[in-house]
Homo-oligomer: A and B are copies of this chain.
Amino acid sequence: MSMILFRNGQFVPEQEAGVSPLDRGFLYGDGVFETLRCYEGKFFRLARHVERTRAGLARLSIAPPAWLDDAADILRELVTRNAVAGGVARIVVTRGVGEFGLLGKQATEPLMLVACWNQPPPAAARYERGINCMIAQQRLMATAGIKSLNYLPQVLARREADAAGADDGLMLNSHGHVAEATAANIFLVLRRELVTPSLEGEVLPGITRAAVLELAHAEKVPVVERVVHATELVHAEEIFLTSSVGEITPVTRLSGHWVKVGQPGPITRDLMRAYAALVKRDAK
């Protein structure tokens, strides 16, 4: 792989894009990231991803690099240079290199890296048959809600699920309530109402999550954002996950048990169709 990346104003080959071992993103996970899906060279709601990057940087008191304004141009250039048809893009911004120690007051030049590469979409079977989830033992961390470079709890939960033969782990927040999957938000259908954990519960403000809420309103599906208890998962008529790369993924098994009839449900399917149409219309 000889991918070209964007790195603080320059387009460089992967081998030359090395991050300083003293960069705080590497030393402490002191930075944020975004993952986007690339649709035939286009992106869905890039502006929202940039907005969320800015919000994350503000939470960490990292000055946003000026290049963030050029995210669309940078991605277009990477799509061309790497000949990306369908794939994934990642934006990373760290506090950069500073003096030794946690404080990082002298780290005044953030590092911004952008990568975009070809990658096949998730397997069709995931959408046709749905995936198998379990509740992970690993809890979310105390900076949940920021898409930071501290993603070890999610890594551990995904590995825990894999070891148990499941596709993904559902993670509880510090109160023991359902928060999200390892890299996706979660929705349940309960008595024909669409339910998703509210953002107050240490939940990442997902961009696909927000799009699904819009679509549900437009399609007149009753929807509520609230605390979701783990026991409610058992009673769900439908469950699905949302993320930029995975879009809307039905969950049809939970810890080995079928969710209702074990097939993607009608509300999930409607939203999958509506989301595909929205992406087709709005990606640019």
Chain A residues 6-28 with CB under 8 Å of chain B are 7, 14, 17-28
Given A18-B19, A100-B119, A158-B103, also A143-B152 (CB < 8 A)? yes
Size bracket, chain A contacts? 35 or more
Complex contacts, A88 vs chain B, CB 8 Å: 100
- Judging by beta carbons under 8 Å apart, are A153 and B143 in contact? yes
| A30 close to B (CB within 8 Å) | yes
Determine if B29 and A150 form an interchain contact, defined as CB atoms under 8 angstroms apart.
Answer: yes
19 extra interface residue pairs, beta carbon distance < 8 Å, beyond A21-B113, A141-B142: A14-B21, A17-B20, A19-B26, A28-B29, A28-B151, A28-B155, A29-B149, A29-B151, A29-B152, A60-B156, A101-B183, A102-B159, A103-B159, A104-B155, A104-B159, A138-B142, A143-B152, A146-B152, A149-B152
Task: Please give me the 7 A-B residue pairs with the lowest Cβ-Cβ distance, nearest first.
Answer: A18-B18, A29-B29, A141-B141, A150-B150, A28-B151, A102-B158, A139-B142
Would you give 23 A-B contacts (Cβ < 8 Å), ordered by A? A7-B21, A18-B19, A18-B20, A21-B92, A25-B26, A26-B92, A26-B149, A28-B29, A28-B151, A28-B154, A29-B150, A30-B155, A60-B152, A101-B158, A102-B151, A102-B158, A103-B159, A139-B174, A140-B142, A141-B143, A142-B174, A143-B153, A150-B150
Q: Give A residues with C-beta under 8 Å from B.
A: 5, 7, 14, 17-30, 33, 60-61, 88, 90, 92, 100-105, 113, 115, 119, 138-143, 146, 148-156, 158-159, 162, 174, 182-183
